[in-house]
Structure 1
Amino acid sequence: MSTLEQKIDDEEAQSERTGYVPDPLSNPQECTNLDVIPINNSGVLDVNGLYPTLFCYGRGAPEDQSRPIEIKFKEHIRYLLSYNDRRFETNHSFIFVVFNLLQRRDACFHAQLIATKPYFHASANEIQSINSKDIEMALDNNSKRKYNTESNSALNKLLQHIKTIGGRVMGSAYSRTALRTRIHALIFNQGLPSIFLTLNPADIHSPVALYFAGVQLNLDKIQNEQLMDTYKRAEIIASHPVATAKFFHLLITNILDAVIMGGVLGPIKAYF
């Protein structure tokens, strides 16, 4: 079960919470504070109510507990983004909301894993001793380029844990740092690369990207008057992120197959 997923009427769900605070969603009607609005499990991820124009009949949202067959969240989102009418793809906020949700789940999941490690328990008390003044002083020293990681060991340990968790969260700055570490490890193991290529596909100038975005083009016989002006192409590409990702994946995969993996360069030891 993924992090933040809720179980209904499951005895194991309550047994897993042994030693933790009571589940606030277990009985939403029991509330003595009149200023608090009770919520239930469905309120954790209510995309039906958030996007009434996308889920017109109030059904079909991810992780619907009434669905007889469980569908993984990522698989369901991938299915929604592949709709023929492209209403999920072209929505201005849907793809950002679900991406942020996936990021949060990754962060919570790996934070939970780290919290079970012995080294985290050893430094937990020291991390709890950090106060707002320590953080303010570190930010001030960092702006003046005077920050020293050895000046505050507790804050340094906190940053190390954040870096470890962030390295597993897709799209984060720490994930790019983790990729750089993997590149350094590959160089240490295999030596310096013989060829270094930087590929930056220009999607707004590609007829294939426009074709994936729904523009009617004959890829075997492309005419200049069919490609429109640069601003119009950029507008189409920006409003069809799934088509852009599909174009990027297709182009990079073909380049790897034709050039790197047993292609014109012959057998290779490794690539990244």
Structure 2
Amino acid sequence: MIYPTLFPYGIGGLENRGRKAALSFKRHVKHLLTLHDSRFQEHYSFPFTVFNILQRRAILLHTSLKVKRSNFKKVAASFASVSPEVLQSVSEQIGKGTYSFHTPEERQALDLMKEVKLITSNVPASSSSKLVMRNEIKALIIEKGLPSFYLTINPADVYNPLVRLLAGAEIDIDNLSDHQMSNYWDQSNLVAKNPAVAAKFFNIVLKAFISAILGYDPKGKNAGGGILGVVSAYYGCVEQGWSGL
């Protein structure tokens, strides 16, 4: 078992087939990262390793191939004739920046790779997922019209005392004294040590913005709306740096 410091008794690991009730990998990871015991959140590699595994699985499950209809029969025949070993060899050479293909099989594999495009729309942070978001925005504009406001929100996780509260600090966030106010250096170290807390803070702030400021209510029960009036629709996406919306 990897991570013996996180699972010192050798039990409770991910995807344990001996578990009475089935528990998915993603749900188990979410549970571990929300425990009061913060050793999973603060581990130097565990959160990044499990995220990498989840993303790789998403790629394998949601990746499909796209080809022009006119070339379908030709591409299908090429798939049947080209071996996986040749495709692997060609992809490795391309990755190294070498393009010396001598055998007919390698040239056929190269032509096949040019004809086929990968589609990974359901994989977070992929280029295809960004294209899907653009199409959704265009569709929303067609239905609702052009946006009235463009906003960028950057929650200050290195200053807000809520981050310390989420990290387990025993503070009264409504009655903070001067010496309890967040110190930039200390809180920056806290966020760097425990990125899961920063993610929770980001989620709380954005949900509060949507419900309190926008007053968005898809069920139509909030007739008054928010400070911007009645919001018929909104669209938000996280910036590449994962720190703004």
Scaled by the length of structure 1, the TM-score of the pair is 0.65
Supply the distance in 1 between the matched residues of 2:77 and 2:168 (Cα, whole angstroms).
56
Aligned to 1:270: 233
Cα distance, 1:153–1:218 mapped onto 2, change above 3 Å: same
Aligned to 1:84: 36
Structure 2: runs of 5 or more not aligned: 99-109, 217-224, 236-245
Aligned to 1:171: 125
Q: Report matched runs for 1:145-224 at 5 Å.
A: 154-158=112-116, 160-161=117-118, 164-165=119-120, 167-224=121-178
Aligned to 1:58: 10
Cα distance, 1:216–1:154 mapped onto 2, change above 3 Å: same
Residues 1:256 and 2:219 are matched in the alignment: no
Cα distance, 1:204–1:61 mapped onto 2, change above 3 Å: same
Aligned to 1:24: none
Supply the distance in 1 between the matched residues of 2:151 and 2:68 (Cα, whole angstroms).
42
- Superposed displacement of residue 79, structure 1: 1.0
Contact conserved, 1:115 with 1:121, CA < 8 A, in 2? no
Residues 1:95 and 2:47 are matched in the alignment: yes
Contact conserved, 2:166 with 2:197, CA < 8 A, in 1? yes
Cα distance, 1:121–1:217 mapped onto 2, change above 3 Å: farther
Q: Report matched runs for 1:28-47 at 5 Å.
A: none
Counterpart pick for 1:70 among 22, 27, 30: 22
Give me the identity figure in percent. Answer: 32
Supply the distance in 2 between the matched residues of 1:229 and 1:194 (Cα, whole angstroms).
37
- Superposed displacement of residue 173, structure 1: 4.0
**Aligned residue type for 1:81:** L
Residues 1:239 and 2:202 are matched in the alignment: no
- Superposed displacement of residue 183, structure 1: 1.6
**Aligned residue type for 1:72:** S
**Structural RMSD (CA):** 3.2
Contact conserved, 2:67 with 2:115, CA < 8 A, in 1? no
**Aligned residue type for 2:42:** T
Structure 1: runs of 5 or more not aligned: 1-48, 141-151
Contact conserved, 2:14 with 2:25, CA < 8 A, in 1? yes
SS of the residue corresponding to residue 205 of structure 1 reads: coil
Structure with more relative contact order (C-alpha pairs < 8 Å, separation 6 or more):
2
- Superposed displacement of residue 186, structure 1: 1.7
Cα distance, 1:53–1:226 mapped onto 2, change above 3 Å: same
SS of the residue corresponding to residue 158 of structure 2 reads: helix
**Aligned residue type for 2:187:** R
SS of the residue corresponding to residue 165 of structure 2 reads: helix
Contact conserved, 1:213 with 1:237, CA < 8 A, in 2? no
Scaled by the length of structure 2, the TM-score of the pair is 0.72
**Aligned residue type for 1:268:** V
- Superposed displacement of residue 155, structure 1: 4.6
**Aligned residue type for 1:202:** A
Aligned to 2:106: none
- Superposed displacement of residue 74, structure 1: 1.4
Number of positions where the alignment pairs a residue of Structure 1 with one of Structure 2: 205
Contact conserved, 1:227 with 1:233, CA < 8 A, in 2? no
Supply the distance in 2 between the matched residues of 1:178 and 1:116 (Cα, whole angstroms).
15
Aligned to 2:183: 229
